[in-house]
């Protein structure tokens, strides 16, 4: 019995996590690849003339069991991994890459798809079918279907190598993160830290075998509070360098050679397919369309951001000098003094706000916001199995009480979980003759665990992170299309952040905060004065934050938008790029690229700009909400219909214009960020 292959009766066809063991993955993937190949063979050997139904639709429906099993594996490998799983990943990743290439380089199958693409009367197809046809044909061409046999063999080898290198990159970063510990024996070295951070450090010490001491790690819930509040400058420096030098020390966990190999292979692959660079290849299927447009976009924002960033640094520098006679403001000082400046300037800081953001209340808040906007209800369902005791499963229903989705929430850091926050799916949404198959959606975060004396209290930044990931989750949960490959977040990469980033906006509005921001001890609703201070401080250091994001976007484009085959020094290359946008001194021995998992492990290569691009979309879209009321049902229904439910069924600009009635306006972002006058049109 293998629960990844054999039918297991579970509520809503959810994964039977308790029955899935590591030894099930490899045989299941191999068996399901074999079955998927048989499904492809049926398409290939059919004597009927190729049609949309018997070729494109049949291909779309093939391999669903394999998709499900591999989704379960890779989601667990991100959220609940171990050495054995990482070893399995190295076995099955090449198998899946090879299988994908077997399909995309299958000459018989491609000729059938090509026939349908060229000969089908598109008047007989609806919009979604037309999108699927175009996407399927392009998928083959962009993956080498027009190459000769020698070139196809070369492409296969590149893809297998890239799959392995990406895994290795991520494993190195995780291992570096887990390996480091700053052991503190003198309680004075904890000066400035809030009580929750001290409790967390004591617990981390126990977990790391340092009982009776305190341990600071490179996990965000440990690292960020120390860098923000700890008065010991020497230890902040040590921690900052450790964080910034992950996987760049020339040891067995170093990623520098891996980076060079990844970017060169991606470029070779792009050129093999007829594109100038990997960025040209990627951006053909993005709203931005080309590297030139991306750089024009980033440079346009830089015009307004760079001077503002320099002013931000001057202000924090002057404050640090006045407070502690700091002559040279360094990176390990910036978070510490900017937090103190924020408190002085706005009479607000994270510790003042956190009592109002108990995790359970914030969860209720995102649920209530989704209910007011889209009519969704969330009910915990303990009959649904989870993959770790920290995970909670909810059944989601719509206004009519109909089952809409299953939602998994996983909020706390642990050794087998990668850093950061993300949304994923164990199964996407689709429709067929059996009905509307609803999705299994998950969000994974790394918030501070409840302590001995206090529950999990979130910083305001963590509140916006939770809303952000939940916005992604709504994109999955509310999907209502025919084909899974076009469902939910299966959209152009620079459109995928719109649902998440727009949802953050509600966190700043009194009408929303009043729903859930209540003091965890007294039950008092967050005072209006604090809400006003949140809004006033929203653009604090916005110039600096803008340039930081632009720097990451430009670094990504530099790695992927040109021929880098002659690069010998990864750090020198990075310095040359980031030096033009950075406004704080460089820290010797650090290297951001070596832990830039978004672009070297995740799917953001030649796409990191999309965070800023989506900020334009979300600022413009939220202006529309604010004009009519943030819970206006008519606007919410339009956003649901044309963005959240439509998935990738049409080009994103078409969908956006249907929702907004116009193209997005870059000035909406600049207005919101305070980089231009609020009245600027």
Residue spans of the domains in the chain: they are 11-146, 180-244, 256-348+542-608, 355-536+611-672
Q: What is the CATH number of domain 355-536+611-672?
A: 1.10.1370.40
Question: How many residues does this entry show for the chain?
Answer: 681
Q: How far is the CA of 339 from the CAs of 322, 342, 464, 505, 544, in angstroms?
A: 15, 5, 17, 22, 14
Identical topology for domains 11-146 and 355-536+611-672: no
DSSP state at residue 439: P
Beta carbons within 10 angstroms of residue 108's beta carbon: 12
Average pLDDT per consecutive 10 residues, the chain (681 residues; last block may be shorter): 95 97 98 98 97 97 97 96 95 93 93 97 96 96 93 94 94 95 97 93 94 94 95 97 97 97 98 97 94 95 94 97 96 96 90 94 98 98 97 97 98 90 97 96 94 89 97 98 97 92 96 97 95 92 95 98 95 95 93 96 92 93 96 98 97 96 92 79 53
Cα-Cα-Cα-Cα dihedral sign, residues 633, 635, 638, 643: negative
Q: Give the pLDDT score at 482.
A: 98
Q: Give the pLDDT score at 494.
A: 87
User: 180 Cβ partners below 8 Å, 6+ apart?
Assistant: 217, 218, 242
User: 671 Cβ partners below 8 Å, 6+ apart?
Assistant: 619, 677, 678, 680
CB-count burial class (<10 Å; 0-12, 13-18, 19+) for 495: buried
Q: Give the pLDDT score at 351.
A: 86
Strand partners, 379: 395
User: 564 Cβ partners below 8 Å, 6+ apart?
Assistant: 260, 263, 264, 267, 573
Q: Give the pLDDT score at 242.
A: 97
CA 489 to CA 486: how far, in whole Å?
Answer: 8
Q: Give the pLDDT score at 678.
A: 61
Pair 408, 441: CB distance under 8 Å? yes
CA 210 to CA 229: how far, in whole Å?
Answer: 22
Cα-Cα-Cα-Cα dihedral sign, residues 540, 313, 461, 575: positive
Question: Which are the catalytic amino acids?
Answer: 469
Rg (CA), the chain: 25
**256-348+542-608, which class in CATH?**
mainly alpha
- Does the domain at 11-146 match CATH 3.40.640.10? Answer given as no
């Amino acid at each position: 019995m293998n629960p990844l292959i054999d039918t297991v009766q579970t509520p809503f066809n959810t994964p039977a996590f308790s029955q899935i063991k590591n030894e099930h993955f490899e045989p299941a993937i191999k068996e399901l690849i074999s079955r998927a190949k048989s499904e492809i063979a049926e398409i290939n050997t059919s004597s009927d003339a190729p049609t949309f139904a018997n070729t494109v639709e049949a291909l779309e429906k093939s391999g669903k069991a394999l998709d499900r099993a591999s989704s379960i594996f890779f989601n667990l490998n991100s959220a609940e991994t171990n050495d054995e799983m990482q070893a399995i990943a190295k076995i099955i990743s090449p198998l899946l890459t090879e299988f994908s290439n077997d399909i995309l380089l299958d000459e018989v199958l491609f000729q059938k798809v090509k026939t349908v693409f060229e000969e089908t009367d598109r008047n007989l197809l609806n919009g979604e079918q037309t999108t699927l046809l175009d996407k399927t044909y392009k998928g083959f061409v962009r993956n080498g279907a027009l190459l000769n046999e020698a070139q196809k063999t070369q492409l296969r080898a590149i893809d297998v190598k890239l799959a392995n290198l990406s895994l290795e990159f991520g494993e190195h970063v995780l291992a570096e993160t887990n390996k480091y510990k700053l052991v503190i024996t003198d309680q004075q070295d904890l000066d400035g830290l809030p009580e929750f951070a001290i409790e967390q450090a004591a617990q981390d010490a126990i977990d790391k075998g340092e009982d009776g001491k305190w341990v600071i790690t490179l996990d965000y819930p440990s690292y960020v509070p120390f860098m923000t509040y700890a008065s010991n400058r020497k230890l902040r420096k040590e921690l900052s360098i450790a964080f910034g030098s992950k996987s760049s020390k020339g040891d067995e966990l170093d990623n520098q050679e891996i980076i060079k190999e990844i970017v060169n292979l991606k470029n070779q692959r792009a050129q093999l397919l007829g594109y100038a660079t990997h960025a040209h290849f990627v951006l053909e299927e993005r709203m931005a369309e080309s590297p030139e447009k991306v750089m024009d976009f980033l440079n346009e924002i830089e015009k307004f951001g760079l001077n503002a960033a320099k002013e931000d640094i001057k202000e924090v520098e002057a404050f640090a000098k006045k407070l502690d006679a700091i002559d040279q403001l360094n990176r390990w000082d910036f978070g510490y003094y900017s937090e103190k400046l924020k408190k002085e300037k706005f009479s607000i800081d994270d510790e003042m706000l956190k009592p109002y953001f108990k995790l359970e209340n914030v969860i209720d808040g995102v649920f209530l916001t989704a209910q007011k906007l889209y009519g969704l209800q969330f009910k915990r369902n303990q009959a649904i199995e989870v993959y770790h005791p920290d995970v909670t499963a909810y059944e989601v229903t719509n206004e009519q009480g109909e089952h809409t989705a299953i939602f998994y929430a996983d909020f706390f850091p642990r050794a087998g979980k990668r850093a950061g926050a993300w949304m994923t799916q164990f199964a996407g949404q689709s429709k067929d003759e059996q009905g509307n198959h609803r999705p299994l959606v998950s969000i994974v975060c790394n918030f501070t665990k409840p302590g001995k004396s206090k529950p999990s209290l979130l910083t305001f930044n963590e509140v916006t992170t939770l809303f952000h990931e939940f916005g992604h989750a709504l994109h999955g949960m509310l999907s209502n299309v025919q084909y899974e490959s076009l469902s939910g977040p299966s959209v152009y990469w620079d459109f995928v952040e719109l649902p998440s980033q727009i949802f953050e906006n509600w966190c700043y509005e009194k009408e929303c905060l009043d729903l859930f921001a209540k003091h965890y001890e007294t039950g008092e609703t967050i005072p209006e004065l604090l809400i006003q201070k949140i809004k006033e401080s929203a653009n604090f250091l916005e110039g600096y934050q803008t340039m930081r994001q632009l720097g990451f976007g430009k670094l990504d484009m530099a790695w992927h938008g040109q021929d880098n085959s002659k690069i010998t020094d990864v750090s020198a290359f990075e310095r040359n790029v980031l030096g033009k946008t950075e406004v704080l001194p460089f820290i010797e021995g650090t290297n951001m690229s070596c832990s830039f998992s978004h672009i070297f492990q995740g799917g953001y290569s030649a796409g990191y700009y999309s965070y800023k691009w989506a900020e334009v979309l979300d600022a413009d879209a939220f202006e529309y909400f604010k004009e009519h009321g943030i819970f206006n049902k008519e606007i919410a229904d339009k956003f649901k219909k044309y963005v959240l439910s439509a998935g990738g069924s049409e080009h994103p600009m078409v969908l956006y214009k249907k929702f907004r009635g116009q193209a997005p306006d870059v000035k909406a972002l600049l207005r919101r960020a305070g980089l231009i006058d609020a009245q600027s049109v």
